[in-house]
Structure 1
Amino acid sequence: MILCICPNPSIDSYAYFKEFEIGSVNRMEKIKLYPGGKATHVALALAEMGKKVTLFGFWGGTTGQWIKMECEKRGIQVEGVELSENNRQCYTFRSDDSSITNTEILEPGPTISPKDWESFTLKLQELVGLSEMVNLSGSWPKGVPENASQVVAQSCKGLNKKLMLDGTGIQLKNALRSGFYGLHINEHEAKDLFGTDDAEKVREELKDSVQLLALTKGKKGLYLADGKEVVHALKPLEKVISTVGSGDCLTAGILYALSENMSLEQVARYGAAFGAANCVNDDLGMLKHKDVMDFLPSTETKLLCHG
C-alpha cells in the first residue's frame, strides 16, 4: 500500500466563464467539481494505474465527506481526522479570455486544534507502519506546528519507509533538517531555496538531506537525480488541455515506478509520462490509464550525468 498524506484537502472546481470583467458581476456558465489537494491527485493517479492507495488527511464537514466519497468511488481507502469545519474549495477559471483562464482562487481551509493534531500524529504512525512508501504533498492547514512535515519525515525515517515530499516554505526547511528519501520541487522553488535550478547543483545542496531529487521545469521536462546520475525525461505534446495537477501526477509516476523497483531512467520515464497524461485530460488533476501506456514508449530520456 502507498500512503498519500493530503494535509489540506479541497474540492477543486473548474469554473467556466464566457467573459470576465473585474469589478462587475460575472456569472459562471457551468462548474465542474473534483476531489482535490495535491496528494489527493497523487492518490487518484496511482489508483487509476492499479496501485493500492490510502489517502490520509483532515476531513472537514460536508465538504470533506464529499471529497472522501469521490475518492472511495475510485477505489481509494480514506483515513484521517474528522473536523466540524469544512474543507476548503478551490476554483480554477476556464475561459476563452486568455487573461483569466487557469486563474486559481484558493480558500484557506479549516483550523486544526491541538487535539486534532494529536489524533493525526497517532494515526500517522499506524499508517506509515502499514505502508510500502509514503507521499506528502501540499500545504498544511492553519493550526498545525511549523514542523508538521518534519514530524512526518521523522515517522518515516523511524519506520524505515521512503517518503516522497512535495512542499514549500518553513515546513520544507524543517523537514530537510531531519532528512527523507525524495523531494519534488519545481524550478522556481529551487531558485528560491538554492539560487539555482540546475539539477546537479541542487542535488549537491541536498546531499545530506535527500537521496532522490525530482526537479521539474514545465515544458522542459523532469530532471531526476540520485547523487550518481541525472536523468532528463520529457514527453513532447502537440496539444495541452490543462497543466493543473500535472506535477502531482508526475509525483505519482515516480512513486509507481519506485514501487516496481525500476531503474532511475525508468522512474524518470514514468514520472514524465504520468505528468503528460494529466495535460491531455480535461478532468482537473487526473489522468487516464490508456494515455499513460500510450505515452511511455515515446517519452524521451537522456542520461546527463554519470558519477
Structure 2
Amino acid sequence: MDQLISIILPVFNEEAGIQTTIDTLLNYVEQQKERYELIFVDDGSKDRSIQIIEKSMNQYENIKLVKFSRNFGHQLAITAGLQYATGDAVVVMDADLQDPPEVIPKMIQKWHEGYDIVYGKRMQRDGETIFKKVTASAFYRIFKKMATIDMPLDTGDFRLMNRRAVNQLRKLHEQDPFVRGQVTWIGFKQTSVMYHRQERMAGETKYPLSKMIKLAVDGITSFSMKPLQLANIFSVVPIVSGIFSLGYLLISGTYSLASVGVTILLFTLGLLLLSVGILGSYLGRVLDQVNNRPRFIVSETEGFQERNIHHLHARQSQN
C-alpha cells in the first residue's frame, strides 16, 4: 500500500497567496508516488483565506481544513495539525511557499534511510531584512548556549516527522509550545537537509517583532533554567555593589550623597525589575498550566472522515 504523507500548513490571513500555494502543492503531489493529504489549519483568519481553501476542497478530496474559533498562534496551529494528521509521515511547512515543496522528496529519502525526523536547515534566507536575519541568527546561538537541548542552528518548523515521532509530540501538552524545541526534546534519530529559503510570494509576514520576541521567550523559558539563575546573580550584584560603594565613599569622603544615592537606586531598581520580569515569564507559564484551559478551540473541520474525527475526540477526552 502506498504511504500517506500529511502536509500541515498553518494559515493566518494568507488571501494574497494561498491559491498559489494550493496550486503549487497540488502540482507537486500529482507527480509523487506517495499519497498526500493537505491539512490547512486556519488560525482565525479575517480575510478570504478560508473561502479560497474551501473552493479548492470542492475539487480535490485530499485537501482538508481545520478552523480555529479565533487566533491562537502559529505554534498551536502546528500542534492542532499534528492531532489531525493521519499520515505515515508528517511534513510541517509555511503556507507562503517560503518552504519549497521540492525539498520534501529529500526529506522522504532520509526518512526511508531510517531517520525519524528530518528538518530543513536554511542555507540562505531571501526577502528578509538584515535586522531579522541577525536577530534570528543570534537567537538560535543564544538558545543553544542556554537550553538543556541541542536544537540545531538555523532551522525553523519546516521538517518531516515519522509516525512514532508525531505520536510522542501528541503527548506533550504545553500551553505555549515551542514546537521546534519539542521536536528536538523527544529525541529519536534526526538529521537535516539543506535548502534555500525563498522570498514570500505574496502578502506580509505573520511574525512581526512582537511575535518573534514572544516565540524567543517561550523557547528559552520552555527549555532553560539559566535565566532564573541569572536573576539570582542580578539580585546579588546591587547588594555587593552597594556595600563596596558605601565603604569607599565613607573612607574617601569625596562624594555627593544625593547624586550617588540616585545612581545606586536607579541601578538597583533596574536589576530588580529585570529579575522580576524573568521570574514573571516562568510564573506565567506555570499559571497557564495550572489553569488547564484547552490550548486551542476548533470551531469546525472539513474534509475529514467522520470515523477519524470521532476517534480523535475520544482519544483527546481520555488525555
Q: With structure 2 as the length reference, what TM-score do the two structures score?
A: 0.29
For the pair shown, the structure with the greater C-alpha radius of gyration is 2
More strand by share: 1
Highest relative contact order (Cα 8 Å, sep 6+), 1 or 2?
Answer: 2
Q: With structure 1 as the length reference, what TM-score do the two structures score?
A: 0.30
More helix by share: 2
